[in-house]
Amino acid sequence: MNYNVDQQQAQLFGSKNQKKKNKTPKIPIYHLYKNRGRIIELKQKQINYFIKNNKKMPEKIDEDPNISDGLSSQEYEELKNLLSTGFPTWEKKEYEAFLNALDFIPKDDIEKIANEIPTKTFEEVKNYCQSFWSRIDEFSDGQRIIKNIEKKEKLEKQKQQSSMLIAKKCQNIGEGEYEEIKIAFPTNNHQSEYSYEEDQYLIYITHKYGYGNWDEIMKKIKTSEDLLFNYFLKSRNKIEIQKRIDYLVKIIEKEYNTNTNNEKTNLRKNRENKEKNEEDISIMMSNNISKISSSNKKLKKIGKDKINENNEKFFEDSSNKKLGNNINLDEDEEDIEKKENDDNNNNNSSYKKAKIEESENNILNMNDSNSKYQEKNEVNENMDIE
């Protein structure tokens, strides 16, 4: 057997060089970088540069932002910007703790999630959550994570709904008065293995210890003095008790849904009646408005005709009055002229009459004077005679 040292060395070193040539950058997806593909491309270029130039490769070349070898200045700036968008300090165990927390904690309850990752602060977990949910589609198991969370949220919603229904059913029930609980079972419930009193008790203790706290509920069933000789209920396991309580919750939900539907039906009927009444009132008002409008038009026309008639009568009266005034005016002028003539005639007559009276008085006075003169002469004559 021939042993060739040079050949063995070539094979050994050639194997190491082959491993270097096959090296690819390791950029964990849970570091949540933006444009992770471009980061891998630039880092691969750096790795190839070190291999080609037979240079010692840095230990943390995968995510070290301070290595610029093998890149142009523009590419190096791009790489630094991309590496600043992720969470390179998150370890795989922290990411797994984050996923485990999402299995039983609502995704919006950041404080409780942060409590499950003691190596990270609240702000770090908050920022990681925001980036995680915005990039969930980039994960290969992203859909599985989403489905698990949706399933958990559905169960949580069911738990809250069941707790609310049971609390509503027991709201007026005092301590230990579970026999006062009324359950509206369907008509075929007589086929059930559980008695009415057992179902009442299950609803009561579920309300007391909380829906979902099955260990506490089972412990109470095993130790309750109310069930001291109830071997049937004591012999049920947790799954059976949970199924029975879920069935009772459905019965309660159906009962309240029926009442709610009846209330909705009544409300709908009342609303329809109200809308119909409003529609009838609207139609009546519309008809009344039409009638009023028609009446107003008629009144307006009648009023207009009346006004025109009054105007015509007014103008006719005015014309007649004016004509009458003209006639009266002429008559008045004639009367005035006649009166003036009469007055003149009267004045002339009076003047003449006065003159006649004056002449008559003068004549009378003259006659009196002559008479007196004659009498005086007669007296004198008689005296002379004597």
**CATH code: domain of residue 76:** 1.10.10.60
**In the structure encoding, which two tokens stand for residue 335, read together?**
């009367």
CA neighbor of 96 nearest in space, from 30, 153, 149:
30
Which one, of 132, 87, 90, lies nearest residue 107 by Cα?
132
Any domain includes 51: yes
**Beta carbons of 234 and 150 less than 8 angstroms apart:** no
Examine residue 36 and state whether it is found in any structural domain, yes or no: yes
Domain contains 129 = yes
Q: What is the pLDDT of residue 155?
A: 84
Position with higher pLDDT, 308 vs 166: 166
Please list, residue by residue across 130-163, b when 16 or more beta carbons sit within 10 angstroms of its beta carbon and e when fewer do. ebbeebeeeeeeeeebeeebeebeeeeeeeeebb
Cα distances (angstroms) measured from residue 11 to each of 1, 23, 52, 56, 195: 18, 19, 19, 20, 82
| The pLDDT value given to residue 110 | 93
Taking residues 48-71, report their average pLDDT. 87
Number of domains in the chain: 1
Tens of pLDDT along 296-331? Answer: 666 666 766 766 676 666 666 655 555 555 545 455
CB 233 within 8 A of CB 245: no
pTM greater than the 0.85 cutoff: no
DSSP-based three-state secondary structure for 252: helix
In a domain, 357, yes or no: no
* 70 in a structural domain: yes
Q: Give domain status of residue 50, yes or no.
A: yes
With CA atoms as reference, report the closest residue to 66 among 80, 86, 51, 55.
80
Q: Could you tell me which residue, 204 or 145, shows the higher pLDDT?
A: 204
Give the residue numbers spanning the domain of 124: 14-154
Question: Phi, psi at residue 65, to the nearest 5°?
Answer: -80, -5
C-alpha span between 30 and 24 (Å, rounded): 18
Tell me if 48 is assigned to some domain.
yes
Q: Is residue 179 part of a domain?
A: no
* DSSP 3-state of 146: helix
pLDDT, tens only, 137-152? 888 778 888 888 888 8
